[in-house]
Amino acid sequence: MSEDNKDFGDKAEDSFDKAKDKANEFAGEAKEAANEFADEAKKAANEFTEGAKEAMDELGGENKKLIAGILAIVLGSLGIHKFILGYQKEGIIMLVCTVALGAITCGIGASVMGLIGLIEGIIYLTKSDAEFYNTYQVGRKPWF
């Protein structure tokens, strides 16, 4: 009976060693799979970042800043720069105020709206591209 126990103990020890080896092998494969997954995730994140940068360039984040700034300085009283940025209501307000105040005050009211456009144009052009994009295109800040 004791010899059966020794054989049983030896078999148990052998099975334990085999299980331990299999577990180590499985852990190694899992580490490799995790590393491969991490590398693929990094590549996908880099591709996404590049795609987002290209999309922003295509949308004209910098071009809208430049166009809106120049139009605000040159034709600011008409509110065209507001329309470029997608602020239709504010653009209409500036246009109506320019026409109405210009007619009533013989052009003095129009020059006030032109001053507002000049100030906005300078603000647009002095902001960094990212700050302009976040403030006026994402954040939708319509005035100053």
In a domain? residue 7: yes
Same domain, 12 and 35: yes
pTM of the complete model: 0.53
In a domain? residue 104: yes
Instruction: Indicate the pLDDT class of residue 121, thresholds 50, 70 and 90.
Output: very high
Evaluate whether 67 touches 121 at the Cβ level (below 8 Å): no
Same domain, 55 and 119: no
In a domain? residue 78: yes
Separation between Cα atoms, residue 77 and residue 113, nearest integer Å: 5
Same domain, 29 and 69: no
- Tens digits of residue pLDDT in 55-95: 555 555 456 888 889 989 998 888 888 888 888 898 898 88
Model pLDDT, residue 119: 92
Same domain, 69 and 90: yes
What's the total number of domains in the chain?
Answer: 2
**Structure tokens that stand for 141 in this block:** 């800040």
Instruction: Indicate the pLDDT class of residue 53, thresholds 50, 70 and 90.
Output: low
Separation between Cα atoms, residue 134 and residue 108, nearest integer Å: 34
Instruction: Indicate the pLDDT class of residue 122, thresholds 50, 70 and 90.
Output: very high
Q: What share of the chain is helix, strand, coil (3-state, %, to 5)?
A: 90, 0, 10
Same domain, 13 and 40: yes
**Structure tokens that stand for 5 in this block:** 């126990």
Same domain, 19 and 74: no
**Contacts (Cβ under 8 Å, ≥6 apart) of 102:** 108, 109, 110
Same domain, 89 and 49: no
Q: State mean pLDDT over 122-140.
A: 83
In a domain? residue 121: yes
Same domain, 29 and 65: no
Model pLDDT, residue 2: 61
Same domain, 24 and 65: no
In a domain? residue 54: yes
Domain range for 90 is 60-138
Residues found in the chain: 144
Residue 57 burial (CB count, 10 A): 11
In a domain? residue 16: yes
**Contacts (Cβ under 8 Å, ≥6 apart) of 129:** 61, 62, 65
Same domain, 24 and 74: no
